[in-house]
Every structure is written in C-alpha cells, then in structure tokens.
Amino acid sequence: MDLHRTAVSLGLALVATACSPDADGTDPAPTSDDAVAEARFGLVVLARDGDEPGVTVSGQLLATRGPDRAAALHALTQPEQVWLTTAEVDPGECRVMHTAHGELAPGSVVDLLSVGELTVSAPDRRGSPLELPPRDFPPASFALGGVVYDGDAPEALPYRAAGLYRVSAPGDQLGPLGGAVVAPEPMHVDTLRFDDDGALQVGWHGGDARVVIARDRGDDTMGVLCRGDGGLRVPAEALERLGPGAAQLAAARIRRAPLLVDGLTDAELLFVTRDTVDLSIPGAENRLTEESPR
C-alpha cells in the first residue's frame, strides 16, 4: 500500500466507530450546523517508509466553509491514511472504521492556502535544507482548490532516528510558519499471524504504534484501526466486518508537535515512521495459522 500517494497523503480527521458487533461503522450524517461551519487548520507530515534512506514531506493548510472538518478532508486523501495518523484510539483498543467515497456537498468550499516556500531542515546537517515551493493542487471539483506541499530528497533530508527536524515558511496567504519535531525509531512489522480463532497477531520491536488494516471496496473503504505496545491482537469479529480477500496493513510510530501558523486556529507537525504489508484476510472456512512471510 502506497501511503504517500498525493501531497495530502496524511493529516486528516475521521469519525470512528467502536469495534463491536452492534456498531454500524458508518460516519454520522451532517447536522444543520455543518452548512455554516467554518474552520482553519493545517498539518505538515514528515514520513519515513520502511528502510528508505530519506524523509518525504507533505502538507496542507485549509480554510473550509460548509462541510465539517472530516467531510472536507475526505475529499483530499485515502481514508486509511487519515485513520492511521489522526483518528482517536486508546492503547489496547481496536475500532472499526468506514468511509463512503463521494463528492463534497453542494455549497461547500475548501481552500488550500499558501505560506510561501516551506523549508525543512534535517538534524546536524551542514548542507542545504529541503525547500518546497507551494504546488497547485490538481482540480478535483469547483469546491476544492489551492496549493499543497510535497517532496523528498534523501541527500537534503536523510532519516535520523531521534533527530530534531525543523520546518519554517515566511508566509503568504497565511503565516509565517514554524515548528520542530523529533523523529521516532524505525518501524518494522516482524510478526503477522492468524490464530485458529481468526484473530490476527501483529508484532514489532517495542514501543507504542498504530496499525490500520483497510479494504477499498469501490464505493467505500472499510478498516480496522488498533493501537498497541510491541504488538497487538486484531479480533476476528473486526476482520469479519472487512470481509475475506486482499487488504493492506500499515503500522506506524508517530511523534507530534505543535505547528505555529499565523491565520490558523489549529495546526500540527507530525513525524511518521511506517511499514506496510499486503495481507489476505481468510474466510471463516479457511483460517491460516502459519506465520506470514515478511
């Protein structure tokens, strides 16, 4: 699963439903207040995938009118990326997630705003930092437009575990912008096994992490989001909600820090180290008990 598909690959908020047989797993219907709601928020995400030597950067700064925050951000990225980085989940908990694909409601406006050139500096680097000019977002609808930030350059922005990464921008429609975040340790899934009762065991080398398993079903995406320390167990009843077949598993360590941006009411800087695995969810009649190859 490619978790860095677009410049807005991360940093979105979705509504989650508890992982229980009687939860319907759907997003709530908008209320009448959504029609007049306004919000200004943003996110910059630094990410290291697997054993890649460098760090990728994505960012978006939004002003919305009409939809709620979740609905506005649904239009920008894949749901599983949202769940992994921003949906609420407690340690030891699993939650069933669901997002229906679709256009923004009539009358919605989502503006993607510029802070000028975004500069990202790696720790202990004497060379030039990574500089990202704002990039026009491909028009998806009349309700959505503006600029986003994305890029990678392993030479300018190498990965350093526990290193301090700084971001800044001079300002344009918003800003100036500034923040710093410490990179988490690398993430590698080293255990992936179905128990004979249908539960999935996921393990890694210590530390708090999130795991999301997602299936894109065309008109919607179903998923399970869990959180654990060194490992976790995804209940069989949660996987049954996804149904048997091909799925994608992503596991991530996440560090968060405040992002100061003049003109926004809420902004955050994240550093994510992640690992992804293609997964086949067996049906009840075909449980796998052997260790999956890594």
Contact 137, 7 (CB under 8 A): yes
Give 117-143 pLDDT, tens digit per residue.
Answer: 999 999 987 678 999 999 998 876 677
- Amino acid letter at 195? D
The token pair at 25 is 């797993």
Contact 85, 42 (CB under 8 A): no
Closest CA to 54 of 210, 160, 211, 165: 160
Give 194-233 pLDDT, tens digit per residue.
Answer: 999 999 999 999 899 999 999 888 778 899 999 999 999 9
Q: Which residues contact 260 (CB under 8 A, 6 or more apart)?
A: 177, 178, 179, 267
What residue spans define the domains of the chain?
17-281
Q: Which residues contact 106 (CB under 8 A, 6 or more apart)?
A: none
The token pair at 285 is 């009649």
Residue-level length of the chain: 294
pLDDT tens for the chain, 294 residues: list them: 333 333 333 333 333 333 433 344 444 444 444 445 588 999 899 999 999 999 999 999 999 887 666 666 667 766 777 788 778 899 999 999 988 776 777 788 889 999 999 999 999 876 789 999 999 988 766 778 899 999 988 888 999 999 999 999 999 999 999 999 999 999 999 999 999 999 999 999 989 999 999 988 877 889 999 999 999 999 999 999 998 889 999 999 999 999 999 999 999 999 999 999 999 998 755 544 434 445
pTM score, whole prediction: 0.82
